[in-house]
Amino acid sequence: DASDISKGTYDHYMLKEIDEQPNVMRKISQNYINDDGTLKVDKDLLTELKKADRLYIVAAGTSYHAGLVGRNIFEQLADIPVDVELGSEFGYHMPKLSKHPFFIFLSQSGETADSRQVLVKVNEMKLPSLTMTNVAKSTLSRESDFTMELLAGPEIAVASTKAYTAQIAVEAVLAKALGEAKGLESAKNFNLKKQLALAANGIQTIVDEKEKIKELAADYLTDQSDAFYIGRGIDYALSLEAALKLKEISYIHAEGFAAGELKHGTIALIEKGTPVFAFVNDGIGASHTRGNIQEVEARGAHVLVIANQKYAEAGDQIIIPEIDELISPIISVVPAQLIAYYASLARGNDVDKPRNLAKSVTVE
Ligand code: G6P
């Protein structure tokens, strides 16, 4: 039960929270989607959103990465341009805004000061805003015009897991609702109820492979000080989050990279045995990413491929079950969460309370 804050039989909150993700997907589906597939989204929010010519998603850390995934979802389902911004940058270097901007704040805690200082300015400018948060009565929620709850239940581990997947799911709810309000076929045809059911089942499949992933983490990361995560499109956004998870709790230096950009410099760091985790869920990028995998393998990289079943090839190590590409990071992030968890555990680190980090950062 995702609303339970005890550790139960788990050694760490992080593993418990990873395991709760199928339930979180079901909860989001139940709360936001009626039996007939229509969505339960505030009408006033949709009226306001329909006036917008551009969305500005503002966030920090893992929530920022969920925003990068969301950009694609909003653009595809709701046909609206999206900027994704770091609060710490945007607050002080606000770019020239579009004529009718709408702000979406993504924040697990709803308390992140870097994001809040942007909201303060947005309110001064009398611009409309929504907060997607896990904490209903949080500061960001109170100070913005609208709130959508993530419904992930309390997240205790500092490294965010279920809030990330919940954010992607709730972004999909809103994107579909907006697309439908605009009468778009792309939104109507996107069967979110089915996709969230696939997400729940797919996460469960990965979670059930824990022991195998634990062995892979040992095989790929023991005695390593650097790792790379690569992918294209939706997998590039995912790579950034996968790398952050590993850094946060294992203290292994990791980088998330656009697979095609690697050759423009960073490939110089690849040597014999360097671990490279390659994501292949993006249909358009899949064959090109395969080419990049060959490039790094030719330089000695130890490559682990995490591929959607549609694009999987012989020798791939982790297969992602069926899911629409748009929300595929909901499943494909889970192997990365588990790899980070087991790498951290093997190093004897404090998994739930990594050094130098806080769950919610209320100073700028
Ligand atoms: C902190 C946490 C991160 C989190 C970030 C944003 O730095 O350590 O895990 O992603 O804040 O937090 P928020 O609550 O705004 O999503």
Q: Which residue has the tokens 């929300």?
A: 327
Mutate to test the pocket of ligand 1, among 69, 131, 360 (most ligand atoms within 8 A of CB): 360
Encoding tokens for residue 26?
């079901």
Which ipTM score applies to this complex? Answer: 0.97
Is residue 362 very low, low, confident or very high in pLDDT (cuts 50, 70, 90)? confident
Q: 343: closest CA among 219, 235, 162, 204?
A: 219
Is residue 364 very low, low, confident or very high in pLDDT (cuts 50, 70, 90)? confident
pLDDT at 363: 84
pLDDT (tens digit per residue) in 80-128: 999 999 999 998 898 899 999 999 999 999 999 999 999 999 999 999 9
Nearest CA to ligand 1 atom 11: 360
Nearest CA to ligand 1 atom 8: 359
Query: What is the share, in percent, of the chain residues with pLDDT greater than 70?
Result: 100
CA distance from start to end of the chain:
34
Taking residues 18-28, what's their average pLDDT? Answer: 98
Taking residues 354-359, what's their average pLDDT? Answer: 90
Ligand 1 contacts (CB < 6 A) are 60-63, 107-109, 112, 115, 158, 160, 357-361
Taking residues 167-188, what's their average pLDDT? Answer: 98
- CA of residue 181 to ligand 1 center, whole Å: 32
Distance CA 135, CA 61 (A): 17
- CA of residue 169 to ligand 1 center, whole Å: 18
Is residue 359 among the annotated active site residues? yes
**pLDDT tops 80 at residue 1:** no
Q: In the chain, which ranges are continuous DSSP H helix?
A: 13-19, 21-32, 43-50, 61-78, 87-90, 113-124, 139-143, 162-181, 185-188, 192-207, 210-221, 234-250, 286-298, 329-346
Mutate to test the pocket of ligand 1, among 109, 241, 364 (most ligand atoms within 8 A of CB): 109
pLDDT at 5: 79
pTM tops 0.95: yes
